[in-house]
């Protein structure tokens, strides 16, 4: 295992990178943060075998700090590596704003040029990543990205500002960035000419981003889960959940309770149906209906039950005994009246999936006793 120097190790990208490198078994990590000293940096620069230079400044108090943080530290790092004749490869995080004529962009561009000149002079491999807006867990609101700010505010019922609704954002997800960095570390970067890039990025309008994140909050009431086959939606949802306040991880469901037990919807999806939890008291029978197109899956997770079927045009009754001691899924075909009865001494708990979310205008449910 190589000794790895990571500057900006406690920042958004740094935290995620450190966590993944540890997952992969890398133990000799030299972590340089704002609280670290130049003496520590020199010791790291003397002994490291690969450099992830992630440290930088993007929201300083003065414009001068841009150049100090994004150019000055890079210059010092290269000076120390050269002093100890350390030819370690260097991966640096720049920004797509390096193409822009603003204080931040100019400071990032200056840092890039330092690296390229250093490479020409020493022959050291340098990997310059011009990153777009990043999002994901451990990002900071009002600092790293608008995604973090929106997630933080929405999760806390705070107002969000959509100043330019039609503005297009280019986003990269932190896990995709870290995957690319580990590939680069292992000698397989995604490189286009002089620069490297994260292969996966997304484009979204600011107004659409706000609507999507707001829908995640509303889903606790509607129980509707967004389509997770859309990669950006899936990654934004994961990011939103990481911003939940520590006292707000849980939420209540509406239990429809009567003398037979209860029925509770758990979640709905736009294309994969819904999941509910049914609880029946001992001796209680539920169901005795059939469907044209709607179909279900029953999974008893606690208690003992008997699921009974009858084709609506036949008299033969089919029975399946189910128990929480042996998890078994029972499909409920169309055209069969069906029921489930609690034959045990404790509550019968059944997880029920149906292929379409309930629509009161088209319930597709017809009463017919199995016997």
Helices (H) and strands (E) in the chain, counts: 9, 21
pLDDT at 101: 67
Q: Tens digits of per-residue pLDDT, 30-82?
A: 999 989 999 999 999 999 999 999 987 555 555 555 555 567 889 999 999 99
pLDDT band at 107 (very low <50, low <70, confident <90, very high): confident
What whole-number distance in Å separates Cα of residue 130 and Cα of residue 94?
A: 5
Rounded Cα gap, residues 127 and 357, in angstroms: 49
Q: What is the mean pLDDT of residues 221-249?
A: 96
* Tokens of residue 317, six digits: 């009754």
Domain boundaries defined on the chain: 4-131, 133-173+201-251, 255-367
- 255-367 CATH, one of 2.60.120.10, 2.60.40.1180, 2.170.270.10, 1.20.1540.10: 2.60.120.10
Question: What pLDDT, in 10s, does the model give residues 316-366?
Answer: 999 999 999 999 999 999 999 999 999 999 999 999 999 999 899 999 999
Choice among 104, 237, 240, 336 that is catalytic: 104
The residue ranking higher by pLDDT, 193 or 151, is 151
Question: CATH code for 133-173+201-251?
Answer: 3.40.50.720
The C-alpha atoms of residue 209 and residue 160 are separated, in whole angstroms, by: 11
User: Does the structure show a pLDDT above 70 at 97?
Assistant: yes
Q: Is 150 a catalytic residue?
A: no
Which class does domain 4-131 fall in? alpha beta
| Mean pLDDT, rounded, for 270-293 | 97
pTM over 0.75: yes
In this chain, the answer to whether the domains covering 4-131 and 255-367 adopt an identical fold is no
pLDDT one-digit tens code per residue, 134-149: 999 999 999 879 999 9
What is the DSSP code string of 101-150? SSHHHHHHHHHHHHHHHHHHHH---EEEEEE-EEESTT--TTTT-HHHHH
Class of residue 5 by CB neighbours under 10 A (exposed 0-12, middle 13-18, buried 19+): buried
Cβ-contact 224, 134 below 8 angstroms? no
Q: What is the pLDDT of residue 95?
A: 80
Q: Assess contact for 194 and 130: CB atoms under 8 A.
A: no
Mean pLDDT within 271-294: 97
């Amino acid at each position: 295992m190589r000794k790895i120097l990571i500057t900006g190790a406690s920042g958004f990208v740094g935290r995620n990178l450190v966590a993944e490198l540890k997952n992969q078994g890398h133990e000799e990590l030299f972590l340089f943060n704002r609280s670290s000293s130049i003496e520590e940096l020199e010791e790291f620069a003397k002994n490291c075998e690969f450099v992830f230079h992630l440290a930088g400044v993007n929201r300083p108090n003065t414009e001068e700090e841009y150049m100090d943080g994004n150019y000055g530290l890079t210059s010092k790092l290269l000076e120390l590596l050269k002093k100890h004749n350390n030819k370690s490869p260097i991966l640096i995080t720049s920004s797509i704003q390096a193409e822009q004529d603003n204080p931040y962009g100019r400071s990032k561009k200056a840092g890039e040029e330092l690296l390229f000149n250093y490479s020409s002079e020493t022959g050291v491999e340098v990997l310059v990543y011009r990153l777009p807006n990043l999002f994901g867990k451990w990002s900071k609101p009002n600092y790293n990205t608008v995604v973090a700010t929106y997630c933080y505010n929405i999760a806390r019922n705070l107002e969000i500002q959509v100043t330019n609704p039609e503005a297009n954002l280019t986003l990269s997800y932190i896990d995709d960035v870290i995957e690319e960095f580990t590939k680069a570390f292992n000698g397989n970067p995604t490189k286009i000419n002089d620069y490297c890039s994260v292969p996966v990025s997304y484009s979204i309008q600011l107004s659409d981003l706000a609507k999507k994140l707001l829908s995640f909050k509303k889903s606790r009431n509607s129980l509707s889960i967004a389509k997770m086959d859309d990669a950006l939606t899936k990654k934004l949802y994961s990011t939103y959940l990481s911003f939940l306040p520590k006292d707000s991880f849980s939420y209540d469901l509406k239990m429809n309770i009567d003398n037979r037990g209860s029925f509770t919807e758990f979640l709905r999806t736009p294309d994969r149906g819904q999941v509910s939890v049914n609880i029946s008291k001992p001796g209680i029978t539920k169901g005795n209906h059939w469907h044209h197109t709607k179909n279900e899956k029953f999974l008893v997770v606690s208690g003992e039950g008997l699921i009974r079927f009858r084709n609506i045009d036949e008299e033969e009754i089919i029975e399946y005994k189910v128990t929480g001691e042996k998890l078994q899924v029972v499909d409920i075909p169309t055209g069969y009246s069906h029921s489930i009865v609690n034959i045990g001494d404790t509550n019968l708990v059944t997880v029920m999936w149906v292929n379409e979310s309930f629509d009161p205008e088209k319930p597709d449910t017809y009463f017919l006793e199995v016997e």
